[in-house]
Structures are given as C-alpha cells and as structure tokens.
Amino acid sequence: MFRYLTAGESHGKGGAVIVEGIPAGVPISEDYIEGHMRRRQQGYGRGPRQQLEHDRAEILSGVRHGLTIGSPIAMWVENRDFANWTEAMSLDPVDDDAKIRRITRLRPGHADFPGVFKYDQSDVRNILERSSARETAARVAAGAVARRFLEEFGIEIHSHVLTIGTVKANVPETRVLGSGPDSNGLIGGIDWNAVEESPVRCADPDVAQAMMEHIDHARDTGNTAGGTFEVIAYGVPVGLGSHIQWDRKLDARIAQGMISIQAVKGVEIGPGFDNTYLPGSEVHDIIELWEGDARPFHHITNRAGGIEGGMSNGEPIVARMALKPISTLSKPLPSVDLITGEVVQAHYERSDVCQVPPACVVGEAVMAHVLALCFLEKFGGDHLEETRSNYERFLTGLRRLSSRSTAT
C-alpha cells in the first residue's frame, strides 16, 4: 500500500516525512524534489518567511544510486527559522515565560479554539505549530515521489488559479479534454509554462494583474484573500478506483485529500456544482468510438471531471478547490483570552496574505499521492518493471477490445 506520514512543527527543527510503498527502480533525486518544493514557496501574496526558508528534502533512506529500492523513503526538511525559535520551541522545559512565546488570544478561523479544548492546552502555540500550512512542505516532498512514479507512465499533473476574491480568470474549456500536446505544444489549450511563470499561477494573463491588485488591497487594509484553484491530471488510464466500496472511490479519495489542505473548504470534481443547474441531457458525457489511443471509446465532453462511478474513465481528472482567506489578519478580529476570558484582539503572527497560488502545488501533490495509490492498487508490482509489465498487459487488452469494436 502506498502511503505517507509527515511530522514536525512550523517553528520546530524541521519536518519529517516517510513515504512507503513506492516500487523499487523509480528514478528520484533530491534536486527533483526540491524543484517542486520551490514551486510551493512561490506566489504573489506570500509572507517574508519564504525569503528565509530554502526548502530542500534530504533523503535519508529508501534510495540508492538514484533509484528507489523498495524500502520506506525517509526525508528531512530543515526549518532555517528554527534558529530564531530555539528557546520557544525547546524540547526541554524553559523557566522564563518571556522566552516561551505563549499565546492565549484565540484566532477566529484557526484550529486554536477547538484544538486547545480537545488536547487540554493552555498555550495555543501547541496547536498552531502543527496546524500551520508549513506542514505542506513535507507533503509536497512526498507528493514529488509519487509524481515521479506517475511520470514513468505518462501521467502529468498541472494546476492553475481560477479566482482570487472577485477576480475571475477566463480559461479555455479545452483544458479538461485530451491528454497530449497540440500542434502548438499546449496541453488542454493552456500554456502551462506560462502558468509557472505567472506570479499568481493564472492561465489568463489579462487578469493576472487584477488578481495581484486584489491581493495588494487586502494587504493594505490588514485583510487576507481567498480564491479557487484547479488541479488537472492528464494521461490517467481508465479503471483507477472502484465502485465496489465507498472508501475505494477515486473521487472520494481525491476529495478527502484536497479538503485536508489547510484552508480548503470546498471540493468539486469537474463542474460539479454548475452541473446541478442543468438537465441531465446537458450534463452527462456522450460516449463514442475512439481510435486515438488504447481506449476503444472516449467522451465528447468531460463534465464528469474524468471520473464516473468512482473510477477514472480515461479523460483528464479535474478537481476544483475553494480556499478560504487566511485566518491570521494583520488587523485582528475581536476574540477572547483563553486564560482570563477577557475580550481582546486576536493574536497576530507573521503570515501570508494569499495562499491560493502555492495551494495549487500542494493540490498537485495530493493528486499525485491519490493517483499513485490507486495506480498501484490496480497494477501492483514490487519493482518498476513489474508494474510496467502489468500496465502494458492491461493496455494490450484495451487495444484488443478497441480492435473488435472498430471491426464491428
């Protein structure tokens, strides 16, 4: 079973991650993982900490001579900022209260309120340190391992920002169709290289500036900005996931993973909510014969977001997420003191203004993990070539079916 676990606090020594279940023989390097971790640190609206941290995952086990060896992959992500928090985050008791950096003013919208009561804490820092989105650095490292495995089978994952506040991008509907580059080298009609260069990861350059201005306004008024983003996986074969049990459904697994990202409050597969306004005849994707690849059939449209009955149907997998505005405000909201019960201003700690662009990269990591998990459930294999052989055998069966369908 492919899985991962992360550990670590936002201002602690660092983050640890263990990835288990990747077959032996998958090429991987620290440089490859660092490339994706660096993407997570970028994006307009990020706070000053990203200038301090230079995230890089040190591989401690599970890789030898550039290849996975089948055993658990352990990685360590150092927090450079820990140098400023050695006493506040000390493993040993600290007698000086001034050095502990205790927090008692609850922040609306954070894990503070339920966390201190669930774990019987008098210092909110014991909750916020782990609930912080800093955890996603380790999660992106784990996702990079899964992503590198999927690349061996031609699966690509991309993401972009749809909205920031009230500013909405105009993006081509073709982005949810097809799996290979067109004559202009675009996948789904989008220049993904341009998205990577955009400060707000926007595929519509005409509104990118307006998005940045919206973030600037939020910063200038002591506020924060949320938005929506989309993650698309191309080249996913038919048949990942299952309709047999609720917890094996591909869309359910994707939704669970995406909603676990800090501040994500909504997930839809394809245009899930928009589909509710339409009659069924305008929602369901018509099936026709197809000779473009190993599939015997394909869908003319992709309103299902690439998943039907809890299983991938061979079209791109499309997930859209709603990310609420960050809960830490430089102009704090009224709150209460955990110890005294007094009405106070909520605690403020250095934070981003907008996390929608970097959330895209975290969403890619989540998508990679879920797809790798389901891919290995379907095709198995203790080493890469065994998995590849099982996959090729499956494709051969599809081609045989395709030949029969075409002949008929």
Q: Which amino acid is at 283?
A: V
Asked if the structure places residue 399 within a domain, the reply is no
Its domain, for residue 305, covers 3-386
pLDDT of residue 292: 62
Q: What is the pLDDT of residue 171?
A: 92
pLDDT in tens, 64-98: 999 999 999 999 999 999 999 999 999 999 888 77
Lowest mean pLDDT among 87-91, 158-162, 369-373: 87-91
Partners of residue 230 on adjacent β-strands: 160, 320
In a domain, 407, yes or no: no
Among 275, 361, 385, 352, smallest CA distance to 49 is for: 352
In a domain, 228, yes or no: yes
Compute the C-alpha angle 79/83/88, nearest 5°: 100
Residue 398 lies in a domain: no
Amino acid sitting at position 161: V
Residue type, 111: A
Tell me what the pLDDT averaged over the chain comes to: 93
Q: Is residue 215 part of a domain?
A: yes
Q: What one-character-per-residue DSSP string does 368-396 give?
A: HHHHHHHHHHHH--SBHHHHHHHHHHHHH
- E runs forming strands in 9-87: 14-20, 57-59, 63-64, 67-68, 73-78
Dihedral sign computed on CA atoms, order 348, 349, 354, 355: negative
Query: Which residues fall within 8 angstroms of residue 273, CB to CB, at 6 or more apart?
Result: none
Q: In the prediction, which pLDDT does 402 show?
A: 62
Higher-scoring residue by pLDDT: 201, 95 = 201
End-to-end, the C-alpha distance of the chain in Å comes to 40
Confidence of residue 304 (pLDDT cuts 50, 70, 90): very high
Q: What is the pLDDT of residue 168?
A: 97
| pLDDT for the residue 179 | 57
Q: How many domains does the chain have?
A: 1
Distance of CA 313 to the CA centre of its chain: 22
Residue 138 within any structural domain of the chain: yes
Q: Quick check: is 401 in a domain?
A: no
Neighbours of 76 (CB within 10 A): 17
pLDDT digit string (tens) for 32-41?
999 999 999 9
- Dist. CA 307–CA 255, nearest whole Å: 12
Assign residue 117 the CATH number of its domain.
3.60.150.10
185 found inside a domain: yes
